Amino acid sequence: MDSSLKSILSAVRGTGTAGAPIASVASDSDLNGAYGNPEVKAKDPRDWTGPTMKGRKFSECPADYLDLVASRLDYFAETADAEGKTTSAGKPVAPFNRADAARARGWAKRIRDGRHTPAPVEEQGEIDI
């Protein structure tokens, strides 16, 4: 009975069996909304070996890249929660990071499902003068 109650409590809190947050995926209505396709403003994740995606919209990035971005944003959300970080308006930062992580996973899912195809990434070569 105790384990059943813990499972129910984990489901209500939105955490998995080990207490880790369940990775959410943004809905189509969120992705189609005003904030559903954010721009990559931070540098590329350290494990990314492809061309830079900085300055591109999530919909323009490869699914593997978006997975790395989502993981990084989840980490930032955990850190912001632990440190109590807030915006200049006094709102907690973590929910914004979690929302963008869910959006990154949502775009990655759309791409993998074949419902969206990002434009090919052009390699930056040397400039002839």
pLDDT mean across residues, the chain: 85
Beta bridge partners of 92: 86
* pLDDT confidence tier of residue 3, bands split at 50, 70 and 90: low
- What is the value of pTM for the model shown? 0.76
**CA-CA distance, 28 to 49, in Å (whole number)?**
29
Map out the domains of the chain as residue ranges. 26-112
Residue 24, pLDDT > 80, answer: yes
pLDDT attached to residue 62: 96
pLDDT digits (tens, 9 = 90+) for 90-105: 999 999 999 999 999 9
Is residue 74 classed as helix, strand or coil in its secondary structure?
helix
Please give the structure tokens belonging to residue 109: 């899912």
